[in-house]
Amino acid sequence: MSETSPPAPPASTENPLKDPVLRRLSMVVILGAVMSILDTTIVNVAIETLSRDFHTSLSTIQWVITGYLLALAIVIPMSGWMVERFGAKRMWMVSLALFTVGSALCGLSWSAGSLIFFRILQGLGGGMIVPVGQTILARAAGPQRMGRVMSILGVPTLVAPVLGPILGGLIVDNTTWRWIFFVNVPIGFIALALSARFLVHDPTHDAGRFDFVGVALLSPGLAALVYGLSEAGGGSGFGSTTVIVSLVIGVVLCAAFVAHALRVDRPLLEMRLFKDRSFSMANVATFVFGAILYGSMFLLPLYYQVVRGESALAAGLLMAPQGVGAALTMPWGGRMTDKIGASKVVPIGMVVVLLGTLAYTQVGADTGYGWLALALFVRGLGMGWVMMPVMAAAYANLTHSAVPRATTVINILMRVGGSLGTALVAVVLQRQISDRLPHLSGILSSVPSSATAKLPEPVASKLADSFGYSFWVVIAITVVGLLAALALPKRRTAPVGAPGGGEGAPVAVPVAD
């Protein structure tokens, strides 16, 4: 196949899925994204099983999750430069292949150490899948169809974390834990075959010299931040020496990277993109959305398992209404973003998320499942109006050549936001439980064994109050996201040289808002 760019998309606002090229690209990207995102949560329900099979402690086997997250943090910053240097299709294929091979090796692991090592290998591939996929779709969509095309990628981003515990619970309950990893192998081969068939070779660009100083600062800085936040959320709290040292190192290295990036011509991440107000506010909202999504994804299954005594599988199924709501509104949110702009769509979504979350601040030990499902459904409706419209706003004023590095920034901020949100709610929840029920302060470290156990009513009631209080943290974070959404520019501009166009600097061309 010739090394040529795909033709620029027409500046129309028709349904992008009517375009056969975009439809095929979306199918390929969704397959890869589902695998990568699913693996951030699918292993969670198997931690106790893995600890038992490998005869090791829960704290050691927890590195099966932490190692994967650290690998994502290390490799994501490099994805933008790699796409420019080697091309999006080539990096997509390499990422898929590495993730698929890593998955197969994880399934063949013979010890806890080998599993942790192979999970890191899997994460090195998985970390590039979503940002490279976003780059492929953003370049193919063009500014006029950005909202709807981004909403396509939003479905796996919101639904896969919910499906992870469900699928993981089904596998652990009915077969060996090894199939948690083996299930990726056939999907990976299918995705590779479709990628080879449908993705067009894109020309490489002058990516400049690789920013070794930037990598030496940013990748370990992000890894230290993610590790520190993971440790804080795992029960250590923000006061432990390990957490404080990790967070300080992470903040210092990331701050040093920002100073470095503003001095050099071709940094690993182009921090000058934040001069654009739309990009800046959209990324603040993206950071907050990551905190809202992953923070609540930590609290919700724990509530169902610890307070209500549900199994991991049942807890996953009880969270399904959120994914259903998001899937229903995401296409509509994309269409409205393309027509009237993200500044009018995202605030509505944030308010709806806020309303859905309020119900969980009042949660009790016997709150009706129907009411909780309705609240989750409402949250999902709001999330469908937030996630991809915000990303579309971030891309609105970018040139074609800026897309890969901008995508890297967006993914890093969502990842760190998710880690921060999870750590905050975990620390608050742990403290609330310790204050109300000191003898149960360690219950969060043994959730699988405590699940399905019926707690005495007074104990369950105090635990439920602890969860309700913790959801106020999610409310506070959502308010910050609402303020960022209200600060989005009221008028969109479509740059000459935007995704799908030429390579020129952005020139503001009025678009109906």
357-403 pLDDT tens trace: 999 999 988 899 999 999 999 999 998 888 778 877 887 777 766 77
Cβ atoms within 10 Å of 347's Cβ, excluding its own: 21
Window from 203-212, 385-394, 487-496 with minimum mean pLDDT: 487-496
Which tokens sit at 314?
Answer: 């049942």
Cα 15 to Cα 141, 148, 154, 348: the distances in Å are 11, 8, 16, 23
263-314 pLDDT tens trace: 888 887 778 888 888 888 888 998 898 888 888 887 888 888 788 888 767 8
User: Residue 60: helix, strand or coil by DSSP?
Assistant: helix
25 contacts 140 by C-beta, under 8 angstroms = yes
Say which residue, 283 or 72, is predicted with more confidence: 283
Which DSSP string corresponds to 184-231? HHHHHHHHHHHHHHHPPPPPP----S--HHHHHHHHHHHHHHHHHHHH
Instruction: Summarize the confidence of residues 163-188 as an average pLDDT.
Output: 84
Look at residue 443 in the predicted model and tell me its pLDDT. 55
**What is the per-residue burial (b if ≥16 Cβ within 10 Å, else e) of 435-464?**
ebbeebeebbeebbebbeeebeeebbbbbb
User: Residue 393: helix, strand or coil by DSSP?
Assistant: helix
Look at residue 444 in the predicted model and tell me its pLDDT. 55
336 contacts 147 by C-beta, under 8 angstroms = yes
Say which residue, 490 or 362, is predicted with more confidence: 362
pLDDT exceeds cutoff 50 at 502: no
User: Residue 510: helix, strand or coil by DSSP?
Assistant: strand
Query: What mean pLDDT value characterizes the chain?
Result: 78
Look at residue 301 in the predicted model and tell me its pLDDT. 80
* Neighbouring C-alpha atoms within 13 Å toward the C-beta of 8: 15
**What is the per-residue burial (b if ≥16 Cβ within 10 Å, else e) of 109-139?**
beebeebbbbbbbbbbbbbbbbbbbbbbbbb
Rounded Cα gap, residues 299 and 90, in angstroms: 38
pLDDT exceeds cutoff 80 at 448: no
Of the candidates 252, 120, 104, 308, the one whose C-alpha atom is nearest the C-alpha of residue 192 is 104
pLDDT exceeds cutoff 80 at 5: no
Exposed/middle/buried for residue 7 (C-beta within 10 Å: 0-12, 13-18, 19+): exposed
Cβ atoms within 10 Å of 259's Cβ, excluding its own: 10
Window from 46-60, 321-335, 417-431 with minimum mean pLDDT: 46-60
466 contacts 360 by C-beta, under 8 angstroms = no
Which tokens sit at 303?
Answer: 């509530």
pLDDT bin (cut points 50, 70, 90) of residue 6 is very low
Look at residue 505 in the predicted model and tell me its pLDDT. 37
| Rg of the chain on CA atoms, in Å | 22
Which tokens sit at 508?
Answer: 């503001």
Look at residue 154 in the predicted model and tell me its pLDDT. 66
pLDDT bin (cut points 50, 70, 90) of residue 214 is confident
User: Residue 229: helix, strand or coil by DSSP?
Assistant: helix
Instruction: Summarize the confidence of residues 77-105 as an average pLDDT.
Output: 87
Helix (H) or strand (E) segment spanning residue 449: helix 447-450
44-69 pLDDT tens trace: 667 767 878 888 876 677 778 778 87
User: Residue 493: helix, strand or coil by DSSP?
Assistant: strand
Which distant-in-sequence residues (6+ apart) come within 8 Å of 110 by Cβ?
A: none
pLDDT bin (cut points 50, 70, 90) of residue 29 is confident
pLDDT exceeds cutoff 50 at 497: no
pLDDT exceeds cutoff 50 at 9: no
Domains and CATH numbers, the chain: 16-486 (1.20.1250.20)
Cα 3 to Cα 9, 13, 178, 201, 204: the distances in Å are 18, 28, 40, 5, 9
What pTM does this model have? 0.74
User: Looking at this protein, which amino acid is placed at residue 357?
Assistant: T
